[in-house]
Each structure stands twice: as structure tokens, then as C-alpha cells.
Structure 1
Amino acid sequence: MTLNLRQLQTSAPDFEAEFQRVLHWSAEADHAIEERVATILADVKARGDAAVLEYTQRFDGLQAGSVAALELTREELKAALEVITPAQRQALEAAAARVRSYHERQLQACGLSWSYRDEDGTLLGQKVTPLDRVGIYVPGGKAAYPSSVLMNAIPAQVAGVGEIVMVVPTPARSAGSNVARGEKNALVLAAAYVAGVHRAFTIGGAQAVAALAHGTATIPRVDKITGPGNAYVAAAKRRVFGQVGIDMIAGPSEILVLADGSTPPDWVAMDLFSQAEHDELAQSILLCPDAGYIAQVRAAIERLLPGMPRRDVIRASLEGRGALIHTRSMEEACEISNRIAPEHLEISAREPQRWEPLLRHAGAIFLGAYTSESLGDYCAGPNHVLPTSGTARFSSPLGVYDFQKRSSLIEVSAAGAQVLGPIAAELAYGEGLQAHAQAAEFRLTDRTAKDT
């Protein structure tokens, strides 16, 4: 069965219209989902644990006498580390070490307090403090994501967050079925132990987001919620933002490969598959100035696809939102990449450093043929929670800075008050705020002398 994958040329007169069709994705939330989520959030806020138990039984098929029974102890997390295979444990601990090392460097670069005194003796600065408590949402049910545990919990731990609360659904059956699935995944629990999670609950969905945002008798209220989830989780995070912080509203996963034709075509084909296999709405795009190479990549896709376990999902993704785009040059490919602002951007070229300065907007940039996006997903070190749907134009990867807040420090000396007071008073009078002005004027030396 031939794959119906778009091939575009930037030199074609209809390129712009076809390109916009490739990029189009509606982020509008389903109204039915929004209404259902609003009901769940309000119910959990009003009834707490009782509502969480009810929805966990209804949606995940898990029956428990209390929410406390759904909490995983540190001993259970440690036990999971002991039962996974030696190879899994070695991989998990190696990945965690690299992720922790990267975020520790990030902390040194941007996460420290600082201050200075100006010529008047006034102290100005910034005080950086970690959040008290954060909640991390780890997807579950269809698959297990220990990498999501590492990428959310480790930067929070490095930032110095006081308490990290994890929620992860472990559905007992699929919707409308009695087929058992989604049992507690040992690799996910082991990752929670390695990453320093303090408390963990086997709940998911909008009810888990509501519990974290509002708190219940058993589940503590957090200051911020991070981590990906399904449409219900995204809708819930959107609704609780403002009561708590959130990382981002994630859209479908994306990969953009800039290729000069020097990388084996099979490698690029598999890199495109690596995002397409996530779900049918994921997007995989190749930009290349070499038409012959594009044909080789397409042939590799056709040859390799039948052997992929998730070939139906990959096919739907590539046919629905994928594209192979022939550009006039690598420079033009870089321009188009900046328009797309992809989540993952691979520069699969002999001289990736030549093109990297031309690229302004991307969640993560992978330099060179050997740097597959999948290495970034699991163990390279930088965070894999990245902005999607073009939001890399103004958003950044999850990092230590997402688990910290900054307070300004100001200490004005007596001499400094004489300099700043008249400036502040003049501007305050201009705004019609007399109390502001006089608060500054009261501290002026000549005013103080008059008052005495």
C-alpha cells in the first residue's frame, strides 16, 4: 500500500497554500471535553477525596476505600527499582545522572541570587527561591513514561523544591471493557525513586489535576503542575492556571529535519517515524535542497514502514500532517524552519554548526547526523518537555527556572533616597498619586528637617 505523503517544492506557485495546509492544526478545545472537565474540577474542589475516588473508579476502574490507599510509599518505589532488570536499572540511573548534571549547570547559569550597590549605597538585586511544592503529571494507561518522570522531577529537585508530588494513572481496564491493563509500571515507579519524588498517587485525568490544584484531605495543594497528558489533562491545566502555575499546554509532538543529503536515508526516515509513532496528529517534516535525496528518504520510508509495530499510527501521522519539502537551498530551509518553530529540530548535515546560527526558533536543536531526537527524549541531558505548535517562538524547554521564582531586592540608603525621592515624586504627581509622591518626599533630608 503506497503511502500518501505530501511532497512540496518551495519553487512551486502553490507552495504557500499547500504549506499552510501542512501546518494547520486546530488547538481549539472540544466543547464537550471542556464542559466535562469543568464539572470534574468543581466537584473535586467541593468534595475532595470523595470525588477523586469516584472519578478514579469511573474512569480507571480502580476501587479503593480511600485516596490514601492510592498513595505509593517510598518503600514501594524503592522496591520497584530492585525488581526491574539490571539493564533497565543501569539505563535509568545513567539517564538520571545526565539529566541531573545538565540541570545543575543550568542552576549555576541562571538560578542564583545576586545583588550590587550603586554609587549612592543603594542595594539592588534578585533573590531566587524554589517553589514549596510542585505536582508532576506522568501519563499512563496506553503506555508507560519513565522518561517523563526524570524530566519533570529532576529539575524540580535540582531547583530545591521542598516537596514533589507525582500523579500517574494506572487504569485497571480500558473504557467499556473488563480487560485488565495499565498495572503499576515498575520502571515508572523506579524512575520516581531515582528522581527524588516525595509522594506519589495512582490517580490521573482531570481529577488528578483538580486535586493537585485545590488540595484534598489526602492530596496536598501544589504551587505548580507540570507534565503532559491527554486532552482532559490539558483542558484541566488550562482551567486551573492562575490558581496554580503550569508549564505549558502541549500540542501534538513535532520533528523537523533539515538535511543536506549527507545522512543515510534510513536514519532520516526512522527519525521521522520517531515522532509520527506518538499519535496520528504528530507532525514529521523534512526540508532538503536535494530532490534526489528526498526520493531516497521516501523510498526508505516505504521500505521500513511495514516493519514498524506502530505502522498504522505512523502512516496516519505522515499522511495527515507530514511532508517532504524540496527547498531552493539550505538557507531557505532555515528560513522555513524559523516560520515553523518546531518542537524538535534536527540539523542532519555535514556542517551543522554552519546552519545553527541561522535558526532562531526551536524547542531543541539536534546537531549532526549522529544526534537523533530520541537521544534527547531519554538520556542526553537537556529536558524533553518542549514547546509545540509554534510556541517555541516565545517559549522555552522545561528547566530549573520553571521551579523557581524571583523576588526583587531593594535597599535604599539615606543618600539614595535624596536622589530617587524627587524622581519618584515627580512621576507620582504626574499620575495623580499624591500618597506615592509624599511617601518619597517624607524621606528627603530638607523635608525631614522642616518636620522637626
Structure 2
Amino acid sequence: MKTVIWAELSSDEQAQQLARPAMADSATLGNTVAEIIKAIRKRGDSALLEYTKRFDKFEGDNFTKTEADIKQATARLGTEIKNAIKTAYDQVVKFHQAQVQDVIRVETMPGVVCEMHTQAIESVGLYIPGGSAPLPSTVIMTGAPAQIAGCTRLVLCTPPPIADEILYAASLCGVTEIYTVGGAQAIAALAYGTKTIACVDKIFGPGNAFVTEAKRQVSNDFAGAAIDMPAGPSEVLVIADKESDPAFIAADLLSQAEHGHDSQSILVTPCANIAKQTALEIEKQLAVLERKEIAEQAIAHSVSIVCADIDEAIEISNRYAPEHLIVQTEDPRALQAKFKNAGSIFLGAWTPESVGDYASGTNHVLPTYGYTRTYSSLGLADFVKRYTVQELTKEGLRRLAPTVICLADAEGLTAHKRAVTIRIEKLNR
């Protein structure tokens, strides 16, 4: 993991250190994904099966999982892993249940009542990354809020082979349809539909650069589907002071690096010795990781930044806008209000990012690529729509009419004005 001195870098060099590696060739990526989407829209299931066989080495002809498959998977799992999945599910449910929004009712003036209601999105697609590791935790993070919100159709797509843990987690969340398809082709199927997979209203879940680009493209098409957020390859930024534990820092950086070769881990510290000791710890801990090769690739394009002080570290973090922000400083809570852009913040030495990934209760589906400037972590609100209601009495309309008439006049909208005056005239008669 390379180390740089922030003050010695030019503005362009600083920007380069904070660039996302996964976005390096966005034009080629965009064209490739567009071709996949076009094929799915044109040839449906046959294209979907073709891509699944090509990219995921799928050997069958049916990518639908049945209730029997789920029961068999559940039976194969041991008690320990099922208890762990159920505990994580319960934790996430507890935190997201607290986000249920009551009806808001306000009488803005006598006789004028305004309300805000929420209603579940009817059909949602849950994309669960596959590849080298199954992610039942992502099933929980997307499925549990959808279940709580009351979405009536939950469709899960994940690359083959589907792990038993994913099927069990899906059953807890009330997922009604499961398909062994992944990548940009799965996003296209969810957005536009095929003979086997009916289209959904909104797509949730993280993925690699291809999945993220596919989500972007379908969400920009009026005939496509809405998405939760741009959620791509994982990233973490750790802020550490001289009192931090290099072993803890290294472990946190590696926990993101092992997600994939395009993950990014960044350390920002005013202490050069902490940067040095962390680098040594990374080498030591890498040696014992099962996913060593993947983590090594990610660490190769990650960076340790030595800055002037903690205030500058905060500035760098806000500029990078990380998906995960870990604050290992003497008094992390005192710094919290200074962070403007982060998907999820982990305060203190005893709060590894792993707890948020699995079972603290917060959601691990988070915006990446710097989108934390404008997007939020996944929550219950993402699975519902808001709509407003207003109801006026006769006297309420009398009170509000002069304001509406005046504004309609100012905007030259006489029909708007007339919709009010015709009622006032009748009241006056």
C-alpha cells in the first residue's frame, strides 16, 4: 500500500489519489453494458441464458428457484449459520421498523387540512452480488426493509450458483421469486422484463462496475426502472490519529479490500508512523487471508495519505465522500458533526466496519463513487412512495381564496383562479 504526503502533491495529483479505479474506462464500460441491455430487451430469456452461461458458467436451462429448492437449502444448513442469519435479520428489522412513518396531519389554517401518507412500492428487484463469495447479508439488507414496507412482490436475482445461505435469508424476508442470473443482464431483465422475469418498479442492491452502470442506464430510460442509488465496488476511508491501533486499521482496510479487486481502501492520518506501522500490519495480515489475491489487487491501488492534522483529514474525507468512514481517533464523537459526506460512519476503535456489514442493524447498501454527497444509505423510505392529501371546508376555502386568486393572477393562470372564484361565488349566493 503506497504512502503519499498530501502537502507535497499538486491539486491534480491529490485528485488522482482520490480517484475511483473502477471508473477508469467508463466509456468502454458504458458501451458494453448498453449492448447487454439491448440484447435482453430484444431476445429476452434466450439472451439472459446465453450471458449467464458465458459469464457465470451456468450449465442448466432453468434459472428459476422453487419453494422446494429453498426448503432443501434450509435443511442443508447448520444450526449455527441459520442462527447467525436470523440474528442479523432481527437486528436489521428492529432498526428499520423504527423508521416506519406515521401519517402526518397538519391543519395549516382553520378549515385547511394537509396530510402526508406513505405507500409501499408494489414490485421491487433485489440484486445480490455473487462471484467469489455469497452475500446473505445483502439479502437481509434489501429484503427486510422491503418486507417491512409491505412491498407485494420481491424478486431476487443473483449469479449462479446460489448459496444455501442466500436462499434461507430470502425465505426470512418473504422473497417470492428467485432467479440465478447476475450482472448487467440481470438488471436489464428486472427493468424491462422477459418471459420468465416480469419487470419491477425499482431495483435495489450493490454490484460491480457493470451492475452499477446497468442500473444507471435503466434508471435514465423512462421505459426502465427506478434504482436505489449508485452502489458499486466497496470503499472505505479510515481516519486515524497517533493513538490508533495499526492492527485495527489494517484489518479494517483489508475487510474492504477482500470484497473485490476494484475495491478501494484509504488511510488518512497526520501521523507518519501510524501509516508506516499500518503498512507493515497489512503485509502481515494479508498472509493469512483466504482471499489474499483479491485483497492484494485492491490494496495495490489503495493509498495511505499523511496529512497535516485531523482537520485536514476531515477535509480529505469530505472531498472523497466515502461509502464507509471509520474514525479511529481519541474522541471520534466530537468529530462527527464535521463529516459532511459519508454513507455510514463507524466511531471508535471498537466499531469495525464489519458490524455494519452484518448485524448492528444499520443498512450496508450505501452509495459509492462519491455519491454520498447527494445520496443516503438505504432505508425504509426507499421502499415507499410519499403522497399528500388536502381537504378544505367551506370556511377553509374562504380563508385561503384571496391568496390563491392573487397568485393565480400574478402567474396569468385564469383557469386556476376560476376554479376558486366559481366556488366562492356559489358560497356567496
Q: Is this a same-fold pair by TM over 0.5?
A: yes
2:218 matched to 1:228? no
How far apart in 1 are the matches of 2:239 and 2:395? 58
**Do the aligned partners of 1:6 and 1:319 also contact (CA within 8 Å) in 2?**
no
Give the structure 2 partner of residue 177 of structure 1: none
Structure 2 counterpart SS, 1:81: helix
How far apart in 2 are the matches of 1:289 and 1:198? 51
Report the more deviating stretch, 35-44 or 274-283: 35-44
Are residues 37 and 390 of structure 1, via their aligned partners in 2, closer, same or farther at CA, if it must alter by over 3 Å? closer
Of 370, 378, 388, the match for 2:350: 370
2:286 matched to 1:305? yes
Give the structure 1 partner of residue 322 of structure 2: 342
Read off the aligned partner of 1:7 and give its amino acid letter. Answer: V
Structure 2 counterpart SS, 1:118: strand
Of 211, 218, 222, the match for 2:189: 211
| 1:359-407 CA distance string (max 9 Å, x none) | 2221111011011111111111100011112211111001111100000
Are residues 15 and 310 of structure 1, via their aligned partners in 2, closer, same or farther at CA, if it must alter by over 3 Å? farther
**Do the aligned partners of 2:103 and 2:115 also contact (CA within 8 Å) in 1?**
yes
Of 111, 118, 126, the match for 2:116: 126
Read off the aligned partner of 2:139 and give its amino acid letter. Answer: V
Give the structure 2 partner of residue 179 of structure 1: none
Give the structure 2 partner of residue 21 of structure 1: 16
Read off the aligned partner of 1:286 and give its amino acid letter. Answer: L
Structure 1 counterpart SS, 2:261: coil
Read off the aligned partner of 1:76 and give its amino acid letter. Answer: D
**Do the aligned partners of 1:341 and 1:392 also contact (CA within 8 Å) in 2?**
yes
Read off the aligned partner of 2:410 and give its amino acid letter. Answer: G
In the TM superposition, residue 231 of structure 1 has moved relative to its aligned partner by 3.2
Are residues 271 and 15 of structure 1, via their aligned partners in 2, closer, same or farther at CA, if it must alter by over 3 Å? farther
How far apart in 1 are the matches of 2:10 and 2:288? 32
Are residues 331 and 206 of structure 1, via their aligned partners in 2, closer, same or farther at CA, if it must alter by over 3 Å? closer
Are residues 327 and 131 of structure 1, via their aligned partners in 2, closer, same or farther at CA, if it must alter by over 3 Å? same
| 1:16-51 CA distance string (max 9 Å, x none) | 443222112373764444344334434433444444
Of 232, 235, 256, the match for 2:237: 256
Report the more deviating stretch, 41-50 or 69-78: 41-50
How far apart in 2 are the matches of 1:122 and 1:378? 46
Are residues 346 and 29 of structure 1, via their aligned partners in 2, closer, same or farther at CA, if it must alter by over 3 Å? same
Give the structure 1 partner of residue 103 of structure 2: 113
Give the structure 1 partner of residue 254 of structure 2: 273
Structure 1: gaps of 5 or more residues: 171-182
How far apart in 2 are the matches of 1:367 and 1:449? 62
Report the more deviating stretch, 47-56 or 430-439: 47-56
**Do the aligned partners of 1:258 and 1:346 also contact (CA within 8 Å) in 2?**
yes
Report the more deviating stretch, 424-433 or 158-167: 424-433
> What TM-score do the two structures reach when normalised by structure 1?
0.87
2:201 matched to 1:186? no
Read off the aligned partner of 1:19 and give its amino acid letter. Answer: Q
Of 97, 102, 107, the match for 1:104: 97
How far apart in 2 are the matches of 1:309 and 1:162? 39
Report the more deviating stretch, 187-196 or 203-212: 203-212
Number of aligned residue pairs: 425
Read off the aligned partner of 2:265 and give its amino acid letter. Answer: S
How far apart in 1 are the matches of 2:200 and 2:330? 47
Of 63, 77, 85, the match for 1:92: 85
How far apart in 2 are the matches of 1:417 and 1:116? 16
Of 364, 371, 385, the match for 1:384: 364
How far apart in 2 are the matches of 1:34 and 1:295? 39
| 1:179-234 CA distance string (max 9 Å, x none) | xxxx3311111111122211111122333222222233332221100112233322
How far apart in 2 are the matches of 1:406 and 1:303? 51
Are residues 78 and 261 of structure 1, via their aligned partners in 2, closer, same or farther at CA, if it must alter by over 3 Å? farther
How far apart in 1 are the matches of 2:167 and 2:245? 38
**Do the aligned partners of 1:74 and 1:193 also contact (CA within 8 Å) in 2?**
no
Are residues 213 and 83 of structure 1, via their aligned partners in 2, closer, same or farther at CA, if it must alter by over 3 Å? same
**Do the aligned partners of 1:418 and 1:443 also contact (CA within 8 Å) in 2?**
no
How far apart in 2 are the matches of 1:439 and 1:51? 53
| 1:108-134 CA distance string (max 9 Å, x none) | xxx232112233211101011111110
In the TM superposition, residue 346 of structure 1 has moved relative to its aligned partner by 0.8
In the TM superposition, residue 71 of structure 1 has moved relative to its aligned partner by 1.8
Read off the aligned partner of 2:321 and give its amino acid letter. Answer: A
How far apart in 2 are the matches of 1:29 and 1:443? 61
2:394 matched to 1:397? no
How far apart in 1 are the matches of 2:46 and 2:232? 31
**Do the aligned partners of 1:115 and 1:409 also contact (CA within 8 Å) in 2?**
no
Read off the aligned partner of 1:165 and give its amino acid letter. Answer: V
Of 81, 105, 128, the match for 2:74: 81
**Do the aligned partners of 2:127 and 2:158 also contact (CA within 8 Å) in 1?**
yes
2:317 matched to 1:327? no
**Do the aligned partners of 2:244 and 2:274 also contact (CA within 8 Å) in 1?**
no
Structure 2: gaps of 5 or more residues: none
Give the structure 2 partner of residue 52 of structure 1: 48
Report the more deviating stretch, 366-375 or 307-316: 307-316
